[in-house]
Structure 1
Amino acid sequence: PKDLKSDPRGWPERPGAGAGKQVVGADLPRLIYVRWQSLVEPQTYEAYIVIPEATRQLMVIGEKAFCRADAKWITGYRDMLTVGLAPGGIAKVWLMGGCLAPINVTRVQGTVVKKGPYGGKSGGQHRPLSATSKAYIEKYGIPYGSW
């Protein structure tokens, strides 16, 4: 964070899509598996995220929406699932569409992967933190419980 002034507590009101993985032509998801490294702890987590049938049904319903980007009304679809990952093994999912407000789907607690990162091929070694991130954590700590 620039000048160590960001605030990492809580989730954003409108989360971004992130780097993402596009899955085109597949059926609507029923289950998502994620494994991630929390570099600040350091720890590796995994989680199985069940996508409720009600959420899946919302993905096929068009909704009238105003797009601020081009000032036009469209029929939009919530066709993106965004997964936020946080220290402590927290994963949260939102259903999103380009011009539509996000809908909170679920929040799950992941479990620790005992093999560590890279399927155990790194000898339990995680990537080191950048100097900026390390300085921020030393100054402010990790806001567990805010996610």
Structure 2
Amino acid sequence: MKSALFGLLIFLLAGCTNSEQYAGNLPYPYWRLGFLAPDYMEVWVETADVEDVHGNRFYQMGGGTASIAKPADGSGNAAGWRSNLGWGAGRHVNGADLPKRIYVRWQSMAEPQTYRVILDIPERARQLMSERLDPPCRTSEYRHALALGLAPGGIVRGWVMSTCGKPIEVLRAQAEIEPKGPYRGESNGKHRPLSDSAKAYIEKHGIPYGSW
């Protein structure tokens, strides 16, 4: 009798643990939010807040530098988006269901300019993030990553992806200029400085607006 009760207790505890680990209808414990930028077009993400499909808000789910390629010899190409996008620099969004909106504010250091945008994540993105891959990747069965590309001019592109296969584009958006400037006016209008390699590339080639 004691053995049966002990087994039932373990079963119930396991069920509770599982329900706490997976938010809503997610088939995995968390999804990933990442940021990237075109070659040499350096970006500093000031904040990225997430709202999931239930209206729950998760603050500071992104911040710092975006993933970028900037060869010191200037051999990169800032026009367009590179084919091997990767997941971008970011973090896992724990405890959230699939995203409904993402609020992003960032510095486009190449210009320099500060932008802000509210991204309404389309239903297609959530469907793709919920579908089981066939065949699955070696390390994942789902597209559980959302990567946001941030480019000069306030251009935003979004892709969902897994650890294998090609990224699938799910959104395009145009951000607005943040009227308060960098750090919401707390830096006297000063943006973060460019790296030497990015500065040299821009001085030689300029900023390829219209290519993203």
Contact (CA 8 Å) 1:76, 1:100: kept in 2 or not?
Answer: no
Aligned to 2:79: 9
2:152 is aligned, of 87, 90, 93, to 87
Q: 2:194 maps to which residue?
A: 129
Name 2:110's counterpart in structure 1: 40
Q: Give the structure 2 partner of residue 30 of structure 1.
A: 100
What are the Cα deviations for residues 8-43 of structure 1, in whole angstroms up to 9, with x where unaligned? Answer: 110123311121121023110011111110101110
Match of residue 170, structure 2, among 86, 102, 105: 105
Alignment correspondent of 1:62: 132
4+ runs of 1 displaced by more than 2 Å? none
| Contact 2:80-2:211 at 8 Å conserved across structures | yes
Query: Is 1:141 matched up with 2:206?
Result: yes
Gaps of 5+ in 1: none
Task: Find the aligned partners of 2:169 and 2:201 in 1 and give their Cα distance.
Answer: 29
| RMSD of equivalent CA atoms | 1.6
State TM-score, norm by structure 2: 0.63
Give the structure with the larger helix fraction: 2
Of 14, 17, 21, the match for 2:91: 21
Amino acid of the structure 2 residue aligned with 1:86: A
Distance in 1 (CA, whole Å) between partners of 2:194 and 2:79 is 19
Give me the whole-angstrom Cα distance separating, in 2, the residues matched to 1:102 and 1:131: 31
Looking at structure 2, the residues matched to 141 and 124 of structure 1 have their Cα atoms a distance apart, in angstroms, of 22
Q: Which has the higher contact order (CA 8 A, sep 6+)?
A: 1
- Determine helix, strand or coil for the equivalent of 2:126: helix
Give yes or no for contact 2:124–2:170 (8 Å, CA) kept in 1.
no
Q: Quick one: distance in 1 between partners of 2:190 and 2:140?
A: 48
1:89-130 deviation line (CA, Å, top 9, x unaligned): 011100111123211001101000011111210011111222
- Work out the CA distance in 2 between the residues paired with 1:48 and 1:64: 32
CA distance in 1, matches of 2:96, 2:114: 28
Distance 2:196 2:83 in 1: 28
CA 1:62 to 1:133, structure 2 compared with 1: closer, same or farther past 3 Å? same
Q: CA deviation at 1:46?
A: 0.8
Identity across matched positions, percent: 54
Larger radius of gyration: 2
The answer to whether the 8 Å contact 2:136/2:142 transfers is no
Distance in 2 of aligned mates of 1:24 and 1:120: 31
